[in-house]
Amino acid sequence: MSRAQDDGPFFHGTKADLRTGDLLRPGFPSNYRPEIVMNHVYFTALRDGAGLAAELATGADEPRVYVVEPTGTFEDDPNVTDRKFPGNPTRSYRSRDPLRIVAEVTDWTRQTPEALQAWTERLAVLRADTQGSIVN
């Protein structure tokens, strides 16, 4: 895995209630499809992108955004960079190494209910198009 050329800061969106110093590791269910166990931990250098990810995560808990620190190497997330956004304008990454929680962020932009519904519908279409497969 090659290290991406981004110095951060980096963010992770989830509905999990985490604490400073906690480690996010691969090998746990996906935030979006709990039936899938992830081989990577995903993160972004865009605070509001992490916020969107948190809002789209499954579960009834409050969406949260955390500042994270990669503990090892990471690479561009091929699920979006190679397929959707060449050049990685979304600044999305993944790692097989843990991410350390540095702090919680509270000043990220929330989606309107209408925008969140539109994103949810887009994800449903993408899931149907891939017939349940995901690269993780």
- Span 5-59, pLDDT tens digits: 788 999 999 999 999 999 999 998 887 777 889 999 999 999 998 998 898 888 8
Q: Does position 109 have pLDDT exceeding 50, yes or no?
A: yes
DSSP assignment, residue 29?
A: B
Per cent of the chain over pLDDT 70 is 82
If you average pLDDT over residues 113-117, what whole number do you get?
79
Name all domains of the chain by residue range, CATH numbers in brackets: 10-129 (3.20.170.40)
Contacts for 60 with CB less than 8 Å, ≥ 6 apart: 15
pTM of the model: 0.79
Q: Please tell me which of 11-20, 73-82, 118-127 the model is most confident about, judged by mean pLDDT.
A: 11-20
Quick one: tokens of 47?
Answer: 């605070």
